[in-house]
Amino acid sequence: MQAINQTQFHFSGQTAYYKGKVRDVYTINNQHLVMIVTDRISAFDVVLPEAIPYKGQVLNQIAAHFLEATSDIVPNWVVSVPDPSVTIGKMCEPFKVEMVIRGYLAGHAWREYSAGKRQVCGVSLPEGLKENDKLPEPIITPTTKASVGHDEDISKEDILAKGIVSAEDYEQLEKYTQALFARGTEIAAQRGLILVDTKYEFGKADGTIYLIDEIHTPDSSRYFYSDGYQERQQNNEPQKQLSKEFVRKWLIENGFQGKDGQTVPEMTPEIVNSISERYIELFEQITGKPFVKSDNKEVLKRVENAVKHALERL
């Protein structure tokens, strides 16, 4: 199985190239972006040494599925999906915040809460909550969008005070975030899942706000299985979940949290394969569709040809 670890293409009209943690992004004529979702995987802001076959396809196709399913709520950046691992879209000026929304006390929010904090990003939380409890209502806990290193928690008040986003735009981002989370929650429930928390990124082009990047994928979201959720909470048992958290837990158990001096544990073929299978499981669970593995024999040539043909049609 070939995996897409990195790309180094040169497309007609290419004006810029950016390599993110898991995406390679090509700018075309300063108007469109070609986003190649590679099979790289990151955790604790570190790109792990082994790529995960089909991971990029899973993320790209889940994102395409949900962007289409929410296009009545907010316009999105997508122009076409010419390959299972590629999306071509409108170039937008991204807002320098990620809109994180949480319906349950899990992950980072739980780590903050269990450390004694009762405010996350300026939002107050009640006493007496347990890990994975449902919150009284979904809360928005934004983060700054760091180009390098860790994203940082930030409050709405600080975003407005520092002029990172205008008050008018931020109000619209909040409305879109709440509506998208409500739709995602509804779709997840139909599939026997709980959408626990997620993040959305937005950009602006020609005065219009667009939803950009991926949404409701296992890299940007956390899902619990709804069957047995209440019972597990009552018994103080861990929730059965579909998210990237299982990768983080495996790393923590093997002594890695991205801190100085720590080494990523060996990613054996068995570990790589198990991660790949978990990503495919989430695709099938959340979309209700069977996952069709793309032909990975000459994966880079496949991607390059698909993009070239799509750009000719722009």
Alpha-carbon distance of 125 to 107, in angstroms, equals 15
What is the model's pLDDT at position 244? 81
Alpha-carbon distance of 18 to 193, in angstroms, equals 34
Return the H-helix or E-strand segment holding 188: helix 167-190
The strand ranges marked E within the chain are 14-19, 23-28, 32-37, 42-43, 46-47, 78-83, 86-90, 93-94, 97-104, 119-120, 123-124, 134-140, 143-144, 193-205, 208-212, 221-225, 241-243
SS3 content of the chain, % helix, strand, coil (to 5): 30, 25, 40
Architecture of the structural domain at 94-243: 2-Layer Sandwich (3.30)
Q: Enumerate the β-bridge partners of residue 201.
A: 212
Cα–Cα distances (Å) from 199 to 22, 71, 172, 180, in that order, read 16, 17, 15, 10
Backbone angles phi, psi at 54, to 5 degrees: 75, -5
Evaluated on CA atoms 155, 158, 164, 166, the torsion sign reads: positive
Residues 6+ apart with CB under 8 A from 264: 46, 48, 49, 251, 256
CB contact burial 195-213 (16+ within 10 A = b; e otherwise): bbbbbbbbbeeeeebbbbb
Residue ranges of domains in the chain? 94-243
Residues of the chain with pLDDT under 70: 1, 146-150
What is the model's pLDDT at position 146? 67
